[in-house]
A and B are shown apart, each in its own frame.
Chain A
């Protein structure tokens, strides 16, 4: 046994291709062992991306501008002619001027939920009572009398401001001082619109509507019980509020009335450009416009969520977007092999897939070799009727196609790793059996076997003690060949969807690529698993070629 191994090692060292094969297999085994460390992502996790996006609406034209900020933008406000400021997560504030978005430094990393600009000044508010003032080109954090998350803010030309937030928080800025207002409800307040120092409305959860008269807040009868998320007032006689499930409230002459628009998902922001015209944005790229007395959906060609919108005459700008699934991303330093349609990291899947390939390959090959070698030993030594029957069975095995056989097993059971091992193991020992048998046939007539028989050794003893060690090199060779075959078979069967549904293998990755339909263009999804299958199998072939020289000295002449 030891001598055999030593011979094998020598043969491999002499053959360059075999050395390459051993190297590759060693690396693969290491990769499989350390898969959790080497994988950069959870192979099952749908990775997400966030980025700020702007959508411009100029008349009938809609134009998307992706990646303008590194984080979600929540709110946007016009702060001059063709000039806008937008605030978002991570304390990001972006300013649009001279046709370009550029970041503005802020002293915070808190999420900024709303921004409001008037008369060359801006206020941004956010989580944990964050209030930022923008004056003379610099953002300054000002102390606020609350720790609550603030969701909305509105600033007037004359310097009055209201900020609203969770659990009925309302801050009032008059002159230089922020004070907390008495609020008749304890619900979350989502947005505020202030026209002047003594006229404004606040909207909030469960249809909350509050009126501000310069001093205090009064609850107004609301026509809805759904969450209201945003509000815009054009003047004292015209306004709109929007909310979840396509809720739209229209304000006319002191009364709020519910209206039906064409959208049914959550509406997140509304902007008005005249008493009759309004633009609403929502989730999944939803947008609608009211003009000429009716609401009409605007196709944006976009499916991510919008957060805020503002309009300035003919131009409107909407910002977003929420974190979205990073689907079908090209290879990048973040995802070496790109991502699947579900945003799963393909590199990590491939790394984890090496485990399945090696385990199934080895277990199935072992099964094949054990069955095949034993059948070959008995068939070749006992001969006669036993040999006949066993070889007939081998013939029958050759008539069964592997993939369809596995399919029948799956049809009668359920897909899984055991089906693959069983199919390969039960079917493909046929070749090993034939090859071992013919070797045993020639060994059985050798003097040492005859001597053992005369000495009275039992057939079992002769087979396992005397003959088996001599076919061991050949069995090793067959193990390698069977392993190459088993790895290909596993990939093929998994590709057909017969593999374990919750376990990644190289075949499963390709199966999912095919199912998604994205494989026709997503080359980064198709190439890596296939290259690894090929590399593994060819390495085993290389190794087995070197083993052949030992197993079959006839070949060493080559």
Chain B
């Protein structure tokens, strides 16, 4: 187990290094003047010299690369043009904002989804199953940003039940992150975006669970369990479901990766001050250092989430699902 964790950890660091490298060359090749990726135009010559020195911009490319890696390791990503502040200080809280929106929604999806999947398999051949499958596919087809717009229009504007943007009602005072989120006002803001993300991601585990359940239900031990006089619900949820959970878990890891990207649109629609919205604004204002750091952090989040999934289900065979429902792409 320890060996597995260590090897996964090394793999994660290797991937992070590759992404850092690709980003380095993308930004160096894509921009005519590398200093614009790190310093503002309005910077005084002295400040410019300091930044040039710190990032080694006057040295040859390989040397720059080494300095860049060193800086990335210490969390030095330059200064944001837009905020005129170190990038690291800006993105720090944004990461927390993103996670506090994303993780609960994914968790809910991957709790409700499999439970519904078991139900569909159990009621195989019924109208409920057919309706459930269609509903699952339809929910997966509706783009999240669009559902977000509809939900805001209906519950936010028409009915006025929920706030339509941000994490808290301004003005508010909070000494730290936890003070900010442990309030009813925050929950009130959280509900709509959570519903939107949950609706989108519930379909996939539900359909995968149903498919695997159908396979497991053909196995002998299920029949034995039934013959032992156990109730149908007990057989379904205790015996069959436990054995059908594997592909769902595999998919959960992949979904975590997709969710970090998909999060961007939700944050944009709901003006949620997370990493995605920051990245979106950075692209609009050509804030290269901020965009670079935000991207790096999103990749890091995916890697950490995947790592966590790998560790928790360490011994599980990462089977690949064939099904289109299973193909998260």
- A contact set with B: CB distance below 8 Å: 17, 392, 395-396, 398-405, 407-408, 410-413, 428, 430-431, 434-435, 438, 474, 477-478, 480-482, 484-485, 488, 491-492, 495-497, 510, 513-514, 519-521, 523, 526-527, 529-530, 533-538, 541-542, 544-545, 547-548, 551-552, 554-555, 557-558
Contact = CB atoms under 8 A, between A and B. Distances in A.
A530 B149 contact: yes
Given A401-B260, A526-B149, A492 B26 contact: no
B150 A526 contact: yes
A411 B299 contact: no
B322 A435 contact: yes
A412 B140 CA distance: 31
Interface string B132-173: 001001101111111101101100110000001000000000
Interface stretch (B53-61, B67-75, B180-188, B288-296): B288-296
Interface in B272-329: 276, 279-280, 282-284, 286, 288, 291-292, 294-295, 298-299, 302-303, 306, 320, 322-325, 327-329
B205 interface: no
B84 interface: no
B63 interface: no
Given A399-B19, A496-B265, A520-B153, A411 B142 contact: no
Interface of B: 11, 14-16, 18-19, 23, 26-27, 30-31, 134, 137-138, 140-147, 149-150, 152-153, 156-157, 164, 211, 214, 218, 254, 257-258, 260-262, 264-265, 268-269, 276, 279-280, 282-284, 286, 288, 291-292, 294-295, 298-299, 302-303, 306, 320, 322-325, 327-329
Contact of B18 (A396, A405, A521, A536): A396
Contact of B157 (A400, A412, A438, A521): A521
Contacts of B218: 557
Q: Which of A478, A481, A521, A552 has the most CB of B within 10 A?
A: A481
Given A398-B257, A541-B137, A412 B27 contact: yes
A395 B11 contact: yes
B255 to A, nearest CB: 11
A542 B141 CA distance: 11
Contacts of A17: 134
Nearest to A546: B324
B327 A400 contact: no
A554 B326 CA distance: 15
B152 A520 contact: yes
A534 B140 CA distance: 8
B268 A412 contact: no
Contacts of A434: 320
A497 B145 CA distance: 13
B246 to A, nearest CB: 15
16 contacts: A399-B19, A402-B261, A403-B276, A404-B264, A405-B295, A411-B291, A413-B30, A431-B327, A484-B141, A495-B265, A510-B146, A533-B141, A537-B140, A538-B141, A545-B324, A548-B322
Contact of B329 (A405, A481, A547, A548): A481
Contacts of A521: 153, 157
B138 A538 contact: yes
Given A481-B329, A488-B143, A533-B141, A514 B149 contact: yes
The SS class assigned to the B binding surface is helix
A482 B143 contact: no
Contacts of B164: 520
B18 to A, nearest CB: 5
A485 B134 CA distance: 17
B286 A411 contact: yes
Contacts of A537: 140-141
Contact of A403 (B142, B262, B299): B262
Contacts of B261: 401-405
Contacts of A428: 329
A526 B320 contact: no
B26 A412 contact: yes
Nearest to A497: B284
Given A399-B302, A541-B140, A411 B288 contact: yes
A442 to B, nearest CB: 12
Contacts of A551: 322
A544 B137 CA distance: 11
Contacts of A530: 142-143, 146-147, 149-150
A477 B323 CA distance: 9
Contacts of B31: 412
B239 to A, nearest CB: 20
Given A485-B329, A495-B143, A403 B214 contact: no
Given A407-B279, A495-B143, A396 B138 contact: no
A552 B265 contact: no
B157 A555 contact: no
Contacts of A491: 143, 146
A407 B150 contact: no
A513 B145 CA distance: 12
Contact of B264 (A477, A496, A527, A541): A496
A503 to B, nearest CB: 18
B259 to A, nearest CB: 9
Contacts of B295: 404-405, 407-408
A401 B258 CA distance: 6
A76 B17 CA distance: 78
A526 B153 contact: yes
Nearest to B299: A399
Contacts of A538: 137-138, 140-141
A555 B211 CA distance: 9
Contact of A481 (B282, B298, B299, B324): B324
A521 to B, nearest CB: 7
Given A399-B19, A537-B141, A541-B137, A404 B276 contact: yes
A536 to B, nearest CB: 8
A412 B306 CA distance: 29
Nearest to A541: B137
Given A395-B15, A404-B261, A552 B322 contact: yes
A528 to B, nearest CB: 11
Contact of B30 (A392, A412, A438, A527): A412
Contacts of B329: 428, 430-431, 481-482, 485
Contacts of B27: 412
A444 B155 CA distance: 55
Contacts of B265: 403, 492, 495-496
Contacts of A484: 141
Nearest to B152: A520
The 6 A-B residue pairs with the shortest CB-CB distance in the complex, in nearest-first order: A412-B30, A401-B261, A530-B146, A537-B141, A538-B141, A544-B324
Given A410-B283, A412-B27, A496 B268 contact: yes
B321 to A, nearest CB: 8
Given A411-B282, A530-B143, 12 more contacts: A395-B15, A399-B306, A404-B264, A407-B295, A410-B283, A520-B156, A520-B157, A530-B147, A533-B142, A541-B140, A552-B323, A554-B322
Q: Which of B26, B145, B152, B156 has the most CB of A within 10 A?
A: B145
Contacts of B284: 497
Contact of A527 (B23, B150, B276, B294): B150
Contacts of A408: 23, 26, 283, 291-292, 295
A548 B254 CA distance: 21
Nearest to B130: A17
B292 to A, nearest CB: 8
Contacts of A492: 143-145, 262, 265
Contacts of A527: 150
A514 B150 CA distance: 12
A534 B276 contact: no
A404 B137 contact: no
A510 B327 contact: no
Contacts of B30: 411-413
B279 A404 contact: yes
